Amino acid sequence: MAVRRVSPQEAKELMDEEGYAHVDVRSIPEFEAGHPAGAYNVPLNHRGPAGVAPNPDFLAVMQAHFPKDAKVIVSCQAGGRSARAAALLEQAGYTNVADATAGYEGKPDPATGRFVPGWRPSGLPVAIDSPPERTYSSLQPKK
């Protein structure tokens, strides 16, 4: 089953009308600076002193909190990380994954060069704070 690609508006409709969970795969600092209201944070990568490194726990955290038939939208800053996250989830057996292709901020359309607005520039609900159970510190495995 192919991953569904959705606009920010379609992502919001899926959340409101079909009960999709929104998973922001950006880093913890990016998420804390602002994210789609109601989103969970499960970073695909971590930023550290040595730069960006893959999050080795990404799939394990997703599997611990979202069953394989869960309705999940993944998003990032501009669509690159979410496309990778969606592909990983599909390979792991997830069957209801949607990729918010323009991400949180947006990106240029490769065909036209025009800016495609993401979640925030589209005027959709944004949050800075999150319920603790939606932050990565509560979702990550306890070590």
Catalytic annotation, residues: 76
Give the CA dihedral 122, 81, 34, 125, nearest 10 degrees. Answer: 30
Contact 53, 46 (CB under 8 A): yes
DSSP 36-68: ETT-EE--SEEEETTEEEE-TTHHHHHHHHS-T
8 Å CB contact between 58 and 89: no
**Alpha helices of 1-143 — where are they, by DSSP H?**
8-18, 28-33, 58-65, 80-91, 136-139
